[in-house]
Amino acid sequence: MNNVNETIWDVVVIGAGAAGLTASIYLAKAGRKVLLLERGAQPGGRAASQELAGARLNLGPHAVYKSALRILEEVGVTVTGAAPGQNGKFLFEGADGEEVVVPLYKLMLGSFLKWSEKSQMIRFYARLRKMDTSALQHVSLQDYLDERFASPRVRGFVQALVRVSSYCNAPELVSAGAVIDQLKMSQVLYVDGGWQSIVDQLKNRAHHAGVTIHSGTVVREISGSSPRMTVQLKDGSRLSARSVLSTAGPTETLALLDSESDAPEAEIYKRLVPVRAACLDLVVSGMPEPATKFALGADYPWYYSNHSAAARLTDDARRSVIHVMKYLPPAEPSDATRNERELEHFLDRIQPGWRKHVVERRYLPHMTVSHAVVTASGGGLAGRPGVAVAGRPGLYVAGDWVGSEGMLLNASLASAKEAAQCIIADIRMEKEGMTRGA
């Protein structure tokens, strides 16, 4: 690390997940000297995939919204894969308290729903694409559902659609406008080779652009302001930089500041509520009901999908990657064992006999899906923190909790690009000022 320590970097980027890698590429392509630090053994963060039984498993179910492809293409990443099938099953609570499994087509053609309930669903779908959500940014999803839909079954169905598009199970907190906007962008891809294929391309593009990447490097503190900032590492090393971009989460970023009280955003960061899920990831050889490739709980926060039905994820064509998930409510304590039993019960209902087909299984009891619920109290996306940290010139943040554009990966990529552009502009102005002064 000697040469690294002695260099004055234009930018030190903390975190080599999707946001950090993307930002570093924009910065390096603009001629900036960039050091990218990753605390893990390899770049990727939550976008990394794991090899298991000849399959590539993402950390829980991942899908790329097609709207994210523009930025990925700008940095030289090509994504291949396919959209999941639209025809699935929904689980409702029956009169006796047991789950009722209803195929999607039977919701409209069968007798499970009354005609008035079908009409509510048809009207919602017909208006969705053209819906003006500006007045709904400060309205919670729960209030929106209670006001617009008289039927509990229709409310459950719409909430299931919102959960699958946003991963968020906090109807009393989340902005109805924000999640409806997210639902409008419902075109997604399951990615061939898992999200590791995206990570590998980003890493290669970063190397090609001239980014220096150091994995296994833990940052302890960020101090100073532009143009003289210092990043102190756990091993005691000190790095000099003109700017620093943190793509860690809000709590982690605050913990790195030498004096968090100097940051006006500190209280905002502390109020952010993470989105989490319990994920049961399976490699299977066949399934009892192979036609059931997708299922959602309407009255239950459950998700099931055979990702191999749309993407190439295994070396053996006879095997498939299945993701089962419970969207965790942020306000309730999470019992990992109970949640795992609940996911197994869900599988028993839609794939009876599934255990005999399991080749490998992995349980992730408390996955962070996103670092922040997009709240109604904050006014939707516009209420999220910006990329520049006020009062700390030269310090920037990016990630799924930053900026006024998109959710999930879309937010990470958009804020990474915005932060990179701000840093490029600031360094250009600084250098121009020095030139004029000389």
Sequence-separated (6 or more) residues with CB below 8 Å from residue 166: 174, 178, 179, 182, 183, 275, 374, 407, 408
What share of the chain has pLDDT > 70, as a percent? 96
DSSP state of 30: T
192-216 average pLDDT score: 98
Q: Report pTM.
A: 0.94
Cα distances (angstroms) measured from residue 37 to each of 5, 173, 219, 243, 247: 13, 34, 8, 14, 10
Using CB atoms within 10 A of its CB, is residue 321 exposed (0-12), middle (13-18) or buried (19+)?
A: buried
Give the pLDDT of residue 435: 46
For the record, the structure tokens of 242 come out as 């003109």
Q: Does residue 34 register a pLDDT over 90?
A: yes
Query: For the structural domain made of 114-186, what CATH number should be given?
Result: 1.10.405
Query: Dihedral of CA 264/266/271/277: which sign?
Result: positive
The separation between CA 119 and the C-alpha centre of its own chain, rounded to angstroms, equals 33
DSSP state of 356: G
Distance CA 281, CA 305 (A): 10
Instruction: Count CB-CB contacts under 10 A for residue 391.
Output: 13
335, HSE (Cβ side, Cα atoms, 13 Å): 6
- Listed by start position, the domains of the chain span 2-48+195-272+377-437, 114-186
- pLDDT tens for 256-276 read 998 755 556 788 899 999 999
Distance CA 180, CA 158 (A): 10
Q: How confident is the model at residue 144 (pLDDT cuts 50, 70, 90)?
A: very high
- How big, in percent rounded to 5, are the helix, strand and coil portions of the chain? 40, 25, 35
Cα distances (angstroms) measured from residue 114 to each of 99, 110, 152, 350: 18, 9, 12, 24
Q: Which fold has domain 2-48+195-272+377-437?
A: FAD/NAD(P)-binding domain (3.50.50)
> Strand 8-14 to strand 238-246: parallel, antiparallel, or no bridges (unpaired)?
parallel
Fold matches, 2-48+195-272+377-437 and 114-186: no
Q: How confident is the model at residue 180 (pLDDT cuts 50, 70, 90)?
A: very high
Residue 51 DSSP SS3: strand
What share of the chain has pLDDT > 90, as a percent? 87
Give the pLDDT of residue 1: 52
Where on the phi/psi map is residue 35: left (φ > 0), alpha (ψ -120 to 50), or beta? beta
Q: How confident is the model at residue 432 (pLDDT cuts 50, 70, 90)?
A: low
Instruction: For residue 259, report the phi and psi dihedrals to the nearest 5 degrees.
Output: -150, 90
